[in-house]
Amino acid sequence: MNICKKCQTEFNGDFCSNCGFPFKLKPINGKYIFDETRSVFNLEKGILFTVKNLFIRPGPTVREFINEDRTKLVKPILFLILCTLVFTLAQQFLDFKSEFTNFQGDSIFKKIFDWLSKNYGYSNIIMAVPIAIWTKIFFRKQDYNYYQIFTILSYYIGVSVLIQTIFGIVNGITHLKVVQIGFIIGSIYVAWAIGQFFERPKRWNYLKGFLSYFLGAITFVFLVISIGHIAMKIS
Ligand SMILES: [Zn+2]
């Protein structure tokens, strides 16, 4: 009998019958380095595949991920974080301003919005929460739970961040003020993608997709301002 190093279950054979953990670790040798290198390239290929398909056919691509095959796309939260990482890197090199930075006014709000723009990655993940709530409300007759909708939105918001990155890079190089245009096009993409995901009836779906994103973003800003007010009262 072998004893699992992870869950202490006794088992026969090479893998734990309870949790699947292997009895022996793979030795670190040439094959190990080769396999790991290959998995990095596979991730790269996976990212390109994911981005390409999300641009061309966002609805069917994510529907397939949810309902049929989860091996083709990069995992949703990882994808969103990678996209925001690309944005942050581009922003640091080219020093373009993101949407939140232009906020004027009381110091506490300025501080909050400054934090949000500096941590644009987290901002997007937090913003996905209210957008998913509105999407769930608008598409409540569809058979998807809140977490599935959050997953769907992680992909679409990730692509919207990439779109904003492209415009940010153009802004950084040419000094044309196109970051805001990138934000608008990114928002239109999310609305279009949500509408396409839920299939029928098409025209209403796009409108509902737009409203979900728009109201989600407003709810997010409203919450941020409320938190600012509470913080001001406490201090
Ligand atoms: Zn085990």
Domain of residue 80, residue span: 75-234
pLDDT by residue (tens digit) across 117-132? 777 777 888 899 999 9
| 51 and 79 housed in the same domain | no
Q: Tell me how far the alpha carbon of residue 21 lies from the centroid of ligand 1, in angstroms.
A: 5
Q: Is residue 50 located within the same domain as residue 102?
A: no
Q: Do 114 and 192 reside in the same domain of the chain?
A: yes
**Do residue 107 and residue 214 come from a single domain?**
yes
- Our measurement of the distance from residue 207's CA atom to the centroid of its chain's CA atoms, rounded to an integer in Å, reads 22
**CA-CA distance, 96 to 173, in Å (whole number)?**
9
Do 96 and 174 belong together in one domain? yes
80 plus 179 within the same structural domain: yes
d(CA 15, ligand 1 centre) in Å = 8
- Please give the distance, rounded to the nearest whole angstrom, from the Cα atom of residue 8 to the centre of ligand 1: 6
Residue 12 pLDDT greater than 90, yes or no: no
Name residue, tokens 């007759």. 141
Residue 100 lies in a domain: yes
Ligand 1 mean position, distance from CA 211 (Å): 47
pLDDT of residue 104: 65
Give the span between the Cα atoms of 120 and 85, in whole angstroms. 9
> Is residue 163 one of the residues assigned to a domain?
yes
CA–centroid distance, residue 33 to ligand 1 (Å): 26
My answer on whether 121 and 179 are in the same domain is yes
Which of 97, 102, 80 lies closest to 168, judged by CA?
97
Q: Which amino acid is at 42?
A: N
- Ligand 1 mean position to 26 CA, how many Å? 16
In a domain, 68, yes or no: no
What pLDDT is attached to residue 58?
95
Q: Cβ(111)–Cβ(98) under 8 Å?
A: no
69, part of any domain = no
pTM of the full structure: 0.84
Higher pLDDT, 231 or 83: 83
Residues 35 and 87 occupy one common structural domain = no
Question: Which amino acid is it at 119?
Answer: N
Do 197 and 84 have their domain in common? yes
* CA 97 centroid distance within chain: 20
Q: Which residues surround ligand 1, an ion (CB under 5 A)?
A: 4, 6-7, 9, 16, 18-19, 21
101 CA to centre of ligand 1 in angstroms:
49
**Percent of the chain scoring above 70 in pLDDT:** 95
Task: Indicate whether 12 belongs to any domain.
Answer: yes
91 and 163 in a single domain? The answer is yes
Averaged pLDDT score across all residues of the chain: 88
CA angle 49, 128, 203 (to 5 degrees): 75
Clarify whether residues 40 and 145 are in a common domain.
no
| Residue 61 within any structural domain of the chain | no
| Number of domains within the chain | 2
The three-class DSSP label of residue 15 is strand
**Beta strands in 87-193, from DSSP E residues, in sequence order:** none
23 phi and psi, to 5 degrees?
-70, -45
> Residue 96 domain-assigned?
yes
The residue type found at 91 is Q
Question: Mean per-residue pLDDT for 55-70?
Answer: 94
- Digit-coded pLDDT (tens) for 68-119: 999 889 999 999 989 989 988 898 888 776 655 556 666 777 777 777 877 7
Query: Does a structural domain hold residue 136?
Result: yes
